[in-house]
Amino acid sequence: MPKLDLHTHSDRSDGTSAPAQIVQEALRREVSVLALTDHDTASGCDEAAQAAQAAGLPFVCGVEISTRQDDHLHILGLGIDPHAQAMAKALDFAFEQRTERVRITVKQLAEAGVDITFDAVNERVRGSISRAHVADYLKSRGLAQTRQDAFRKFLVPGRPGYVHGTGLDVCAAIAAIKNSGGMAVIAHPGMVFSILDLPAWKTAGLDGLEAFYPAHTVTMTGKLLALADKYGLAVTAGSDYHGPDSGRENTVGMTLSEREFANMRAVLKKWNI
Ligand SMILES: [Zn+2]
Ligand SMILES: [Zn+2]
């Protein structure tokens, strides 16, 4: 059965592996197509692309853009030119917003009595700063068992470190991806199923839905395939791999049936794969 993965994270955002290590892991797991999609940064793409080219693994440069609508409403940009001006501008804006969100998070936690500073959190960042870095810091200070535990105790709505998301608008994220030569896909749509506005986003240029995702039930995948069909959207598959010790179990690679893989051919053809 063919395997591919169009959604992975490296240590350039909140993953734990270097971009080239993800390529090695993908090869080990016999993944036939790989995309790197770090949160609001494409800074790992060159390293991953070089490693993939050396190993003969088809590779797609990508990004996962956070939106201000919801903490889980993320847009994958697949096949982008990471150096395109439209993408650089969007990612600069996202970087400012992320930094500001973490600054306020740290301030709120300090006010609640937690011994934490922005610099101590920022020391761990290799690319795109995120709340996961705050969670890792809390874990390192013995205030949580795991990253997920830190989120539950400190960073979700109702807890002292929660700050509402401040990313791009959905349509602005789609526009930045399209203007950088990429394909815009809703990441893990099952997690935001109740707020999907496909007619509006299709008009804004949306290309696809990540119908195949580890947390989606068979029923959810079926609903998403039907919606993709209704709105003329492509479907993609991604594991959301974050590396070892990230607190997530997912491995690199989504196994598809021959028919599902064949349906994805049109997507892959865009990148001559
Ligand atoms: Zn996501
Ligand atoms: Zn992701």
pLDDT greater than 90 at residue 48: yes
Question: How high is the pLDDT of residue 264?
Answer: 86
Which residue bears the tokens 């350039």?
12
Mean pLDDT of 223-228: 97
Question: How high is the pLDDT of residue 66?
Answer: 96
Does residue 164 lie in a domain region? no
Q: How far is the CA of 76 from the centre of ligand 1 (A)?
A: 8
Q: How far is the CA of 207 from the centre of ligand 1 (A)?
A: 17
95 and 139 in a single domain? The answer is: yes
Does residue 150 lie in a domain region? yes
Query: Three-state SS for 51?
Result: helix
pLDDT greater than 80 at residue 127: yes
Mean pLDDT of 136-162: 96
Question: How high is the pLDDT of residue 84?
Answer: 96
* Ion ligand 2: residues, Cβ under 5 Å: 64, 240
CB under 8 A, 24+ apart: contacts of 119-126 = 126/11, 126/12
Q: How far is the CA of 242 from the centre of ligand 2 (A)?
A: 8
Q: Tell me how far apart the alpha carbons of residues 97 and 16 are, in angstroms, rounded to a whole number.
A: 23
Cβ atoms of residues 30 and 24 within 8 Å = no
Does residue 163 lie in a domain region? no
Q: Tell me how far apart the alpha carbons of residues 126 and 159 are, in angstroms, rounded to a whole number.
A: 27
Q: How far is the CA of 187 from the centre of ligand 2 (A)?
A: 7
Q: Tell me how far apart the alpha carbons of residues 220 and 231 are, in angstroms, rounded to a whole number.
A: 17
Mean pLDDT of 57-66: 97
Does residue 78 lie in a domain region? yes
264 and 135 in a single domain? The answer is: no
pLDDT greater than 90 at residue 265: no
Domain that holds residue 18: 3-84+169-269
Give the Å distances, CA to CA, from 123 to 119, 154, 155, 263. Answer: 6, 20, 19, 44
190 and 264 in a single domain? The answer is: yes
Give the 3-state DSSP-derived string for 142-177, with helices as H, strands as E and coil as C: CCCCCHHHHHHHHHCCCCCCCCCCCCECHHHHHHHH
44 and 126 in a single domain? The answer is: no
Question: How high is the pLDDT of residue 231?
Answer: 97
Question: How high is the pLDDT of residue 119?
Answer: 97
Q: How far is the CA of 264 from the centre of ligand 1 (A)?
A: 21
Residues in the chain: 273
Mean pLDDT of 95-116: 96
pLDDT greater than 80 at residue 249: no
Which token pair is 112?
């609640």
Q: How far is the CA of 188 from the centre of ligand 1 (A)?
A: 7
Cβ atoms of residues 121 and 102 within 8 Å = yes
For the residues of 163-224, what is the DSSP string, one character each? -----B-HHHHHHHHHTTT-EEEESSGGGGGGG--HHHHHHTT--EEEEE-TT--HHHHHHH
* Chain Cα centroid distance, residue 183: 14
What CATH number did the domain enclosing 60 receive? 3.20.20.140
Q: How far is the CA of 43 from the centre of ligand 2 (A)?
A: 15
Counting DSSP H helices and E strands in the chain, the numbers are 11, 8
Among all bound ligands, the one having the nearest atom to the CA of 187 is 1
Does residue 161 lie in a domain region? no
Q: How far is the CA of 187 from the centre of ligand 1 (A)?
A: 6
In 10 A of CB 267, how many CB atoms? 23
76 and 120 in a single domain? The answer is: no
What CATH number did the domain enclosing 99 receive? 1.10.150.650
Which token pair is 102?
């973490």
pTM value is: 0.95
Q: How far is the CA of 113 from the centre of ligand 1 (A)?
A: 30
Of 155, 180, 202, the last residue of a domain is 155
110 and 197 in a single domain? The answer is: no
Q: How far is the CA of 84 from the centre of ligand 1 (A)?
A: 22
Does residue 160 lie in a domain region? no
178 and 251 in a single domain? The answer is: yes
69 and 96 in a single domain? The answer is: no
Average predicted confidence (pLDDT) for the chain:
95
Does residue 27 lie in a domain region? yes
248 or 109, which is more confident? Answer: 109
Question: How high is the pLDDT of residue 262?
Answer: 85
Give the Å distances, CA to CA, from 167 to 14, 65, 215, 272. Answer: 16, 8, 24, 32
Domain count, the chain: 2
